[in-house]
Every structure is written in C-alpha cells, then in structure tokens.
Amino acid sequence: RSVAVVTGANRGIGNAIAVGLAEAGANIVAVHRSEVSATRLAIEALGRRFVSVEVDLQDRGSVASIIDVALGTFGKIDILVNAAGIIRRQSSMEFSDKNWDEVLLVNLKVPFDLSRAVARSMVTRGIPGRIIHLASLLSFQGGINTASYTASKSAIRGLTKILANEWA
C-alpha cells in the first residue's frame, strides 16, 4: 500500500487530496496545524491508516519531524503533496518584512525542504515516487495585495520544473 504525506490536510484542497489518495488506496500522513478529526474519520472509514503530524510549518524543525514520523511509522514515503500555504494581504508598498518572510517560508522553503528530504528517501529505496506542488492562478495573473503569496506560488511553478528536470 502506498504512503502519502499531505501538508495542509486538515481543510480545503489538502483535505480533498488526502481523502482522494485514501480512496485510491494510500495510507495518509496528514500534516496540519489545526483540527483534523473530520479528515481522520473520512480516511479511516475507507479502511486506510491515518497518521497525524500536528506542526507549525514556520518552525524550522517541522520538516525533520514530518519525515521522522512518516518513515518511523511506515518505513517509506511514496507520495508527497505540498498543499499547505498561507497568504497575507497588504499593499506592496506597505508589505511588512515579517509577512513576506512567513509566506515565503511556508509556501516555498518548506515545500523545497520536504521535497528534497522525501526525494532522498526515495532514491535511497531505489523506488520512484511522486512529489506534487500546488501553485495558484496568481502565479499567472499576479493579483492585488498578495505580493509574497504571488511570488511564492510563481516560484513553486519554477521549482517544480527544475526538480522534474533534475530528478526525472
């Protein structure tokens, strides 16, 4: 049975992806920072294993703890879905460094760090896997008052391409 790590699994797109992967047969490592019981119930009702990793992705140690829990529980990671994301709305001229840094950390650095760690575990096992990043339509159209979010999601598009080229 496949093992999928899904960030942002507690709601929205991340939740839908976690449940969809469970419907397709995967056991789920749900990464979240708020209530996740509805996700747990949906996945366990499908007869799949559900492991919860409650972390704040702004914590620099979160990536290591996610990997440790997933590999410690299942011994492998077959699928990584980087669905977690945050947005801060503020005029670009007034945009605070704090808001910029927080959004780029959660939306870009953490997905890169998780992707790199998961790819290393996949290469060590010698078995290909899947790494999925979620971008945004704002990476195509820009948006208004979303400078860091738009920049981070545009960068995710580019990161996805470079990792696909390197790791294909």
59, amino acid identity: D
Predicted local distance difference test score (pLDDT) of residue 73: 98
H or E element, residue 164: helix 147-167
Predicted local distance difference test score (pLDDT) of residue 168: 85
For β-strands 130-133 and 27-32, DSSP reports them as unpaired
How does pLDDT run across 40-99, given as a tens digit for each residue? 999 999 999 999 999 999 998 999 999 999 999 999 999 999 999 999 999 999 999 999
Per DSSP, the three-state class of 139 is helix
Predicted local distance difference test score (pLDDT) of residue 31: 98
How does pLDDT run across 116-163, given as a tens digit for each residue? 999 999 999 998 899 999 999 998 899 999 999 999 999 999 999 999
For β-strands 3-7 and 130-133, DSSP reports them as unpaired
| Dihedral, CA of residue 105, residue 119, residue 78 and residue 109, to nearest 10 | 0
Predicted local distance difference test score (pLDDT) of residue 60: 85
89, amino acid identity: R
**Residue 29: pLDDT band by 50, 70, 90 thresholds?**
very high
State the Cα–Cα distance between residues 15 and 100, nearest whole angstrom: 26
Mean pLDDT of 94-115: 97
Predicted local distance difference test score (pLDDT) of residue 17: 98
Q: Which residues are catalytic?
A: 149
Phi first, then psi, for residue 60 (nearest 5°) are -60, -20
158, amino acid identity: G
Q: Is the pLDDT of residue 107 over 90?
A: yes
Instruction: Quote the tokens at residue 145.
Output: 């008052």
Per DSSP, the three-state class of 90 is strand
